[in-house]
Amino acid sequence: MPWSIANASYWKQQHNKGVTGITDIKGRGHALTIDSGWQEVADTALPFVRRYA
């Protein structure tokens, strides 16, 4: 999705009590399990999940 939409959604979520984060990973799609480079997405998300899970 375009960064402007993701960033607007991120800032809207700041009103929630839960933890919210955003990272721009260039060239990645939404089908994480079949897109090339999914490991980079997982490696980026895992520390966040471990920290807040």
Domain ranges of the chain: 25-53
Q: Tokens 């899970």 label which residue?
A: 53
d(CA 27, CA 16): 29
The type of residue at 1 is: M
Do residues 44 and 25 make contact, with C-beta atoms less than 8 angstroms apart?
yes
* Cα torsion 3, 40, 22, 1: sign: positive
- pTM of the model as a whole: 0.65
> Can you spell out the DSSP letters for 16-35?
SSS-------TT--S-TTTS
pLDDT in tens, 1-40: 788 998 999 999 988 888 888 998 888 777 766 778 888 8
d(CA 51, CA 28): 23
